[in-house]
Each structure stands twice: as C-alpha cells, then as structure tokens.
A and B are shown apart, each in its own frame.
Chain A
Amino acid sequence: MALVSTRATAFKSGGTAVLARRVAGKLGSLLLTLFLSSLLVFFSRFIVPGDPVSFLLRGRKPSPEAIAQVTTEFGLDLPPWQQYINWIAGVLQGDFGRSLQYRQDVSTVIGDRLPVTFGLVVMAGTMIAVVGLIAGITAALNRNKLLDKSILIGLTILGAVPSFVGAIVLIAVFAVQLGWFPTFGSGDGFLDTVYHLVLPSFALAIVFVVLVGKVTRSSMVEQLDREHVEVATSRGLGRGAVVRRHVFRNALGPILTVSGPLVAGLLVASTIVEAAFGISGIGSLLVQSVDRLDFPVVQSIVLLIVTTFVVVNAIIDILEPWIDPRSAAGAGAR
C-alpha cells in the first residue's frame, strides 16, 4: 500500500515546482481565453453585413475625406487578420484607436471616466461583501428558524429588484422625497464623490448582495451538515470556533467562485446605474457610444470589461489551493 502520495505532499512542504507549474498552466489558460475573447470582440464587426466603412460611419456624413480617414485609420484596405494584428498590437501598447465621437484617443476618453466607475464599483463591492456575508451567515446559523426565513424572503424580493428599479426607487425616496442625497452627478473632491455615490452604489449592490447572501447561506448550510463539523463538536470545541474554523472556512470556496463573475457583472450593471444617476463613468460612456454609433469606444470598453472578468477569475483560480488544499493535488472535489 502506498502510504502517502508524495505528489500531494509537495504542495505545502515547499514544493514550489508543483505550484509554479500550476500557476503557469492557469496563466496559459488565461492568455488563451483573453486571446479568443479579443478575436470575438474584434471580429464581431465583420459579422455585420455590408461595407465596413459605412458601418463605422453610420449616422455620420460619409464625405470622401471621412471615408479616406476611416479607411487609413482602421486599415480597412488590409486583410482582416492584418487589421487584427495592428489593432491588438496597438491595444497592448495602450492605443485603443480614436473615438469617432470625441475626436480624441479612446484611451483618453476612457481614462477620464474610469475613476468614477472604479469608485462606484469599490463602494458597491464593499456593501456587497459586508451585507451579503452577514445576511448569509446569519441565515445559515439560524437555519429553518424565523430569522432565516425572513432573511430568505427578504433576499428573494431584493433579488427581483433590478438596478434600474432600485435606482428610481432610491431617487424617489431618498433624493426627491427626503432630500438626503443628490439625484444627479458624481460630485467633486473625495468626500463629495463618496456622498454622491452612496445611492448609486446601493442600487448597484442590491442584486449582488442577494447573490452573495444566498451562496453564503447555502454553502454554509452544506458545511454545517458535514460530519467533520459534528466531529469537531464532539471533541468539545466551542460553537464559535467550530463555525469559524470548520464551517465558514470550508464554505469560502463557492463564495469566492461567485465573486469572479461578480466584478465584471458590477461593471456591466454600472451602465444602468450611471445612466439612472447621470454619472459620467465608463458605463454611461458605453451607452452613449452605442447610442452615437461610436464603435471604437464600444469595442474598447467591452474588451476592458471582458479582460477584468478573465483576470479576476484567473486570480481566484490561482488562489484556490489556499482555500482547498485538495485542488492542488488535482483531487478537486469539494
């Protein structure tokens, strides 16, 4: 009988080779996904039937100069793969092309709007983590009791409140009726910005709080039923220590897994919230650019969001062995 599988031992006891190989594998997978996604983003333009020049110049005067300018700028006379290589080479150097609407570099246009969206996402993310975890943990520890049921009902209702509905209700109640918060804009200076972003981040957070809360609850409940929790209890460990060290610790995996898509989801949902609150972040920029047929900006924002999603997911993937040592050994099963 093989007493101990040496392969698995390597991970914790300084087997950096295994770890390095794992990280390298994940990075390779990340790059491949990014590459395929960039193909999709770039070549999506090619599935639109008709002439690319007239597609890009939709809604604008197709003057001969404009046509010539667009053709050279996008290299439309080159073969598609050449166009892609030029584009991706530019992107890798931070050159996303020029906006048709603003007549500026796309990177400048996006760069100006990024901080507000970032602030919005961070504030919403904090709310989601705090409220979601508290709700989920409280519900799980009071499983099948009144508190649990009320939290679940609350979450089910909140989960059906899309961000635009949340936004108008918050505006109606807290901005218009009570006058506590501004209805519009993102303010100047740090504190003012935070103040302006309270309602928007709240609206943004609602649906995701529900997601985190429900996953936390079900993941904890699942762990509570595990025999190792009973064993720990039978050894005379206090309830608090059991919950902390055995239930919550083991429930972390699924919670972390949903947080990956969550970050990208926040960025996308910020389109709606920014539009509702008149905040000029990249979300509202995306909507405007779609509205004004500014395809280069649309393409760049989509690529940005997709990259965020893929990178965050890869980080979570790489972190997984610290959460669940079995995944390092490839045994993976939760």
Chain B
Amino acid sequence: MTAQTLTAKELKAPRLGGFGITFTVSVAVLLLMTVAAIFAPIIAPYDPNEVDFMAVHSGPSMAHWLGTDSLGRDLLSRMIFGARTALLGPLLVVVSSTVLGILLGVLAAWRGGWVDAVLARLFDVIFSFPSLLIAIMAVALFGKGLIAPVIAMSIAYAPYVARLTRSLVASERHRPYVAAYRVQGFSGWWIALRRVLPNVAPIVGAQSTLNFGYVLAELAGLSFLGLGVQAPAADWGAMINESQAGLVGGHFLPAIVPAIAVVIAVVAVNIIGEELSDRIGGEIPA
C-alpha cells in the first residue's frame, strides 16, 4: 500500500457519513420543482397565459413577485408551469435511454463476440451525431414540438448508457466472484442480471442523473431556438426566446427569470449526480 492511497482512504472515510449540505439542498430544490410542476394549477398565482396590458414589463411587486413580461403575463406563474415541460422531457429521455442502454450494454458485454462488435459499430455511428443535432434533425423531419426530439434524444443518449454499462459489466465479468458463481452452477444470465447488474447499476444511475441535466439544457435550448415547445406556451426555453427582443431595451427579467430556473435545475441535478458517483467511488469513464 502506498502512502498516497492510504491518505486517500483516510480522507475519504469521514465522507461516508451523512450527506453534505449542498446535496441536501439540491435534492430539496428538485423536489420543490417537481411539486411545483405537478401542482402548478393550484400553486401558480395566475394563469400563465393571462395577458394583462396594464402591467407590461412590471418589476417585482406584491402582485407579481417576479414581475411580468412584455404581454403582462405573470413570470412566476409561467415559471411554475414551465417546470412541467422542463422536467418531463428529460425524465422521459433519461428513463427510456437508461432502460435501452442497460439492455444493450449488458447484451454486448455478456454475449461479446460479433454481437459486441456490431453494437460497438452502431454506437460509434450514433455517437458521431451529437444529441442536440439528432434532436434538430428530428424536428426537421417530423415538425416542431417536443415529441420527436424526446424520442430522438432517447436514442441519442442510449449508447452513452450502453457503453458505460458495457465497460462496467465487461470488467466485472472477469472478476473472480463471477467465476465463483459459475463454478457454483448458476446460469450466465442469472449472474448477469441478478448479481452483476445490481453491482454496476449505481454507477449507471449516477451517469443517468448527470444526463438528466444535459438533456434538460438541450431541450430548453431547442425551445429557445423556436424548434421545441412553441410560444406562447409557458416553457423556460421558449420564454427566453420570446423575451430576447426585450433584452436590448433593458427588460432583463423576462429572460433572466427562466434562465435562472434552468441554471438552478441543472446545478441541482449535477450536484446530485456528482455526489452519487463520488459516493459510489467509481470514476465515470469518459
């Protein structure tokens, strides 16, 4: 044992205790956003699309906590409703890409041989299309909205999950404990799905959590480009898109409020994802 590994262990030991404050806050923030999204009609003080020409570009006030936009719509209400598409889209992408990726990854690692080679080539091809580009292409083919991009990005993200799962399962597969299960007479697929997969799942989960943040930012970006959720619907990206023109006139709030919402959501997700992967101890291979 080298002196360094020794200290690394000693230094890491106390962290195994309670969760850090940033982690707790992040979880709380995400929970809050989720609750707000689900109960938006109850929580939001106004109808998000209620136009009020008497209160155009009003600053924060008792009536409008975060002010209003160029049509006098209440920013807080729009932000609360915006959380719905902001969280639902990434959730769908992450869940479907994780399920698909894990299946393909385990298949590639466990079968090996030509299955592995074909899948690796397929992943290589999909990797060469950055996810936002696939989303844009989906819009070009199927028209604006979130449905096509969400499906397209599920496919785009699946290989990332699959490659990670594959490398983890493949390295796990050569460990003596797997050989020990074989010697005891367990079947290959039982070992793969019941014993190896649960061992690597936390790392894959941490990666998927991080993916959630990326997807959130990308889908919001798509709406910002006017290709995703369409104005006047309340969506963070679309809100920024709509209010961009007002920036030059010095009306920052309508753009900044949803922008901050995006940043807070992504920061929270990233902190959770990084904390999880740190805790699990497995460095996520690039």
A45-B141, A272-B224, A298-B137 as given contacts; A168 in contact with B217, CB under 8 Å: no
Q: Mark the stretch among A68-76, A99-107, A260-268 that contacts chain B.
A: A260-268
Is A160 located at the chain interface by the 8 A CB criterion? yes
Is B95 located at the chain interface by the 8 A CB criterion? no
**Given the complex of chains A and B, what is the CA–CA distance between A276 and B3 in angstroms?**
52
* Cβ contact within 8 Å between B270 and A225: no
When each residue 42-73 of chain B gets 1 if its CB lies under 8 Å from chain A and 0 otherwise, what string results?
00000000000000000000000000000000
**Given the complex of chains A and B, what is the CA–CA distance between A181 and B274 in angstroms?**
36
**Given the complex of chains A and B, what is the CA–CA distance between A309 and B250 in angstroms?**
39
**Given the complex of chains A and B, what is the CA–CA distance between A43 and B259 in angstroms?**
37
Is A117 located at the chain interface by the 8 A CB criterion? no
Q: Mark the stretch among B33-41, B119-127, B178-186, B192-200 that contacts chain A.
A: B119-127
* Cβ contact within 8 Å between A271 and B136: yes
A227-B2, A287-B226, A287-B227 as given contacts; A33 in contact with B124, CB under 8 Å: yes
**Given the complex of chains A and B, what is the CA–CA distance between A287 and B132 in angstroms?**
12
In the complex, which of the residues B121, B274, B286 contacts A32, with contact meaning CB atoms closer than 8 Å?
B121
* Cβ contact within 8 Å between A305 and B141: no
In the complex, which of the residues B2, B136, B137, B259 contacts A165, with contact meaning CB atoms closer than 8 Å?
B259
B269 → chain A closest CB, angstroms: 8
* Cβ contact within 8 Å between A164 and B128: no
* Cβ contact within 8 Å between B286 and A272: no
Is B280 located at the chain interface by the 8 A CB criterion? no
**Given the complex of chains A and B, what is the CA–CA distance between A307 and B248 in angstroms?**
37
* Cβ contact within 8 Å between B225 and A310: no
When each residue 237-270 of chain B gets 1 if its CB lies under 8 Å from chain A and 0 otherwise, what string results?
1001000100110101001100100111111011
Is A197 located at the chain interface by the 8 A CB criterion? no
In the complex, which of the residues B124, B128, B137, B256 contacts A168, with contact meaning CB atoms closer than 8 Å?
B256
Is A269 located at the chain interface by the 8 A CB criterion? yes
Is B187 located at the chain interface by the 8 A CB criterion? no
In the complex, which of the residues B137, B248, B286 contacts A44, with contact meaning CB atoms closer than 8 Å?
B137
A40 → chain B closest CB, angstroms: 7
Q: Mark the stretch among B4-12, B99-107, B201-209 that contacts chain A.
A: B4-12
A161-B263, A290-B139 as given contacts; A275 in contact with B225, CB under 8 Å: yes
**B137, B142, B269, B270, most chain A CB atoms within 10 A:** B137
Residues of B within 8 A of A230 (CB): 2-4
* Cβ contact within 8 Å between A302 and B137: yes
B258 → chain A closest CB, angstroms: 9
Which of chain B's residues 133-164 have a Cβ closer than 8 Å to chain A?
133, 136-137, 139-142
Is A254 located at the chain interface by the 8 A CB criterion? yes
A37-B128, A286-B136, A290-B140 as given contacts; A171 in contact with B247, CB under 8 Å: yes
* Cβ contact within 8 Å between A271 and B270: no
Task: Count how many pairs of residues, one from A and one from B, have CB atoms less than 8 Å apart in the complex.
Answer: 147
* Cβ contact within 8 Å between A287 and B266: no
A168-B255, A261-B127, A290-B227 as given contacts; A156 in contact with B286, CB under 8 Å: no
Is B130 located at the chain interface by the 8 A CB criterion? yes
Is A169 located at the chain interface by the 8 A CB criterion? yes
**Given the complex of chains A and B, what is the CA–CA distance between A207 and B262 in angstroms?**
14
When each residue 242-265 of chain A gets 1 if its CB lies under 8 Å from chain B and 0 otherwise, what string results?
000000000000100110010011
In the complex, which of the residues B130, B220, B274 contacts A164, with contact meaning CB atoms closer than 8 Å?
B220
A207 → chain B closest CB, angstroms: 8
**Given the complex of chains A and B, what is the CA–CA distance between A225 and B283 in angstroms?**
14
Is B79 located at the chain interface by the 8 A CB criterion? no
**Given the complex of chains A and B, what is the CA–CA distance between A163 and B221 in angstroms?**
8
A291 → chain B closest CB, angstroms: 7
* Cβ contact within 8 Å between A264 and B267: no
* Cβ contact within 8 Å between A164 and B224: yes
In the complex, which of the residues A32, A160, A163, A272 contacts B267, with contact meaning CB atoms closer than 8 Å?
A160
Is A215 located at the chain interface by the 8 A CB criterion? yes
* Cβ contact within 8 Å between B4 and A225: yes
* Cβ contact within 8 Å between B224 and A36: no
A261-B130, A264-B130 as given contacts; A172 in contact with B226, CB under 8 Å: no
Residues of A within 8 A of B121 (CB): 32-33, 36
Is B129 located at the chain interface by the 8 A CB criterion? yes
In the complex, which of the residues B262, B265, B267, B283 contacts A218, with contact meaning CB atoms closer than 8 Å?
B283
Is B89 located at the chain interface by the 8 A CB criterion? no
Is B76 located at the chain interface by the 8 A CB criterion? no
**Chain A residue at minimum C-beta to C-beta distance from B274:** A156
* Cβ contact within 8 Å between B128 and A33: yes
Which of chain B's residues 205-233 have a Cβ closer than 8 Å to chain A?
213, 217-218, 220-221, 224-227
Knowing that A48-B142, A162-B217, A218-B283 touch, tell me 10 more A-B residue pairs with CB under 8 angstroms. A162-B263, A165-B262, A168-B240, A168-B255, A168-B256, A177-B250, A271-B136, A275-B224, A289-B140, A309-B127
Sampled A-B contacts (19; CB under 8 Å) = A33-B121, A36-B121, A37-B125, A156-B271, A157-B267, A160-B265, A162-B218, A165-B259, A168-B244, A176-B250, A177-B250, A258-B286, A264-B133, A276-B244, A287-B136, A291-B227, A305-B130, A309-B127, A309-B129
Question: What residues of chain B have their CB less than 8 Å away from a CB belonging to chain A?
Answer: 2-5, 8, 11, 121, 124-125, 127-130, 132-133, 136-137, 139-142, 213, 217-218, 220-221, 224-227, 237, 240, 244, 247-248, 250, 252, 255-256, 259, 262-267, 269-271, 274, 283, 286
